[in-house]
Amino acid sequence: MSSNPVAETVASLMPRAKAELAELVAFKSVADFDQYPKSESEGAANWVADALRAEGFTDVALLDTPDGTQSVYGYLPGPEGAKTVLLYAHYDVQPPLDEAAWATPPFELTERDGRWYGRGSADCKGGVIMHLLALRALKANGGIPVSVKVIAEGSEEMGTGGLERYAEEHPELLKADTVVIGDAGNFRVGLPTVTTTLRGMTLVRVQVDTLEGNLHSGQFGGAAPDALAALVRALDSLRAEDGSTTVDGLDGDSAWDGLQYDEEQFRKDAKVLDGVELIGSGTVADRIWARPAVTVLGIDCPPVVGATPSVQAGARALISLRVPPGVDAVEATKLLQAHLEAHTPWGARVHTEQIGQGQAFRADTTSPAYQAMADAMAVAYPGQEMQYAGQGGSIPLCNTLAALYPQAEILLIGLSEPEAQIHAVNESVSPEELERLSVAEALFLRNYAAG
Ligand SMILES: [Zn+2]
């Protein structure tokens, strides 16, 4: 990599990148303003805005999004007729959780064993720095051949949807030919990976009623229809013997054809207790990236403490169904509702309600943008071929952008490899990953402009 001028420039910029990341990490920019002062988030937003202005961005603005947070926007016009690329990151962070459990203070970037520790160092303040490094490296080596829009969100970790709604209300603002979301991560350190699919999700609440009121379990139990028992049976019908998700009419056999997830590694990553089996069938990648997965998120019934000897008249549950790419979340929701209604026993009254829904996402990996990224990754990670991984969760903004700009390709890369321990205590970033991915992003922009 050292023979590449862009790589040489990025290498020379790493000390500055570290100092900047330290400044950015020092802001306690948790977008929960009951727990953290809003001024911390404002400080981080202004830091990003100033950094964009210093790079020559025009129209730099702090956008007030409907959830009461701010997204930072900037535009850097490229040569006449150039394509436009949108670079995304977020400057808000997860709360540090148990601060005492951190080996070093969460809001002080600290180097240890070759990694830089601090909340947001990988997720996603490092992503902000990655975008800056890529642009600076191109500037120092012939210029930036595309028009660039940057958007740095202020409430990604809260899931309050401020930027999504703002983008829908201002449909021209983030319009681009290609989007790079700098908030994902390599499958492991040193293995260049693009996340190509995200599962969608649907949330359904189910209410089961059997009696006008609770009854004494001694006097009536045995014949009186128990709503909680009916609910448990309906919920259990959502799983096969091996734990696979079974929703009537919903395909549960799809296979993942990209990178595979080693089963032992998965057990370790998921911290599965010794002797406990994984659930489902197929490879781990099939199960978490290509197939539906149901999870009961909560059940309303009497808690153990204070429970009385009663047969329950009513009970309800909240169910999430992760929907793989290729399956319409609206259709999956209807199937889940119909399944619950059909599988609730004893003629119990059952009422289902959909309370949230997001579509799955699948990138077009045959697009010119993917080829440009694969070529860039091959230079940034010599000897490695770019891998395609899925992600079990969803990124709502991805869907918003995909719906607003159906022609735009979306690439998900970033610094959140497993060792980064994002969202946990002792989050860190690998400076080598930051360096290589910045090189990759710079070369991607160059390749994409030329393609
Ligand atoms: Zn993130």
Q: CATH 3.30.70.360 region(s) of the chain? A: 200-254+291-358
Predicted local confidence at residue 190, as pLDDT: 97
- Say how many Å lie between the CA of residue 155 and the centre of ligand 1: 10
- The DSSP code sequence of 91-134 is ------S-GGGSSS-TTS-EEETTEEESTTTTTTHHHHHHHHHH
Report the candidate in 245, 190, 277 with the shortest Cα–Cα distance to residue 392.
245
pLDDT digits (tens, 9 = 90+) for 256-285: 988 999 999 999 989 999 999 999 999 999
d(CA 255, CA 206): 30
Over range 372-386, report the average pLDDT: 97
- Say how many Å lie between the CA of residue 123 and the centre of ligand 1: 4
- Say how many Å lie between the CA of residue 118 and the centre of ligand 1: 14
Q: Which residues surround ligand 1, an ion (CB under 5 A)?
A: 123-124, 183
- Say how many Å lie between the CA of residue 431 and the centre of ligand 1: 17
Q: Identify the active-site residue in 55, 156, 417, 441.
A: 156
CA 353 to chain CA centroid, nearest Å: 25
Cβ proximity of 250 and 335 under 8 Å: yes
- The DSSP code sequence of 310-339 is EE-SEEEEEEEEEE-TTS-HHHHHHHHHHH
- Say how many Å lie between the CA of residue 182 and the centre of ligand 1: 8
Instruction: Give CA separation, 342 vs 20, 229, 306, in Å.
Output: 57, 15, 33
CA angle 335, 336, 340 (to 5 degrees): 115
d(CA 380, CA 370): 15
Is-catalytic flag, 300?
no
Instruction: Give CA separation, 410 vs 87, 176, 180, 269, 396, in Å.
Output: 10, 10, 6, 27, 13
- Say how many Å lie between the CA of residue 96 and the centre of ligand 1: 14
d(CA 74, CA 60): 4
Q: Identify the active-site residue in 20, 40, 67, 92.
A: 92
Q: Which two tokens stand for residue 432?
A: 């080598």
pLDDT digits (tens, 9 = 90+) for 403-445: 999 999 999 999 999 999 999 999 999 999 999 999 999 999 9
Pairing of strands 387-391, 193-198: parallel
- Give the pTM: 0.88
Q: CATH 3.40.630.10 region(s) of the chain? A: 5-198+360-450
pLDDT digits (tens, 9 = 90+) for 30-53: 999 999 999 999 999 999 999 999
Cβ proximity of 388 and 258 under 8 Å: yes
Q: Which CATH class is domain 200-254+291-358?
A: alpha beta
pLDDT digits (tens, 9 = 90+) for 46-72: 999 999 999 999 999 999 999 999 999
Is-catalytic flag, 242?
no
- Say how many Å lie between the CA of residue 140 and the centre of ligand 1: 29
Query: Does the domain spanning 5-198+360-450 belong to CATH 3.40.630.10?
Result: yes
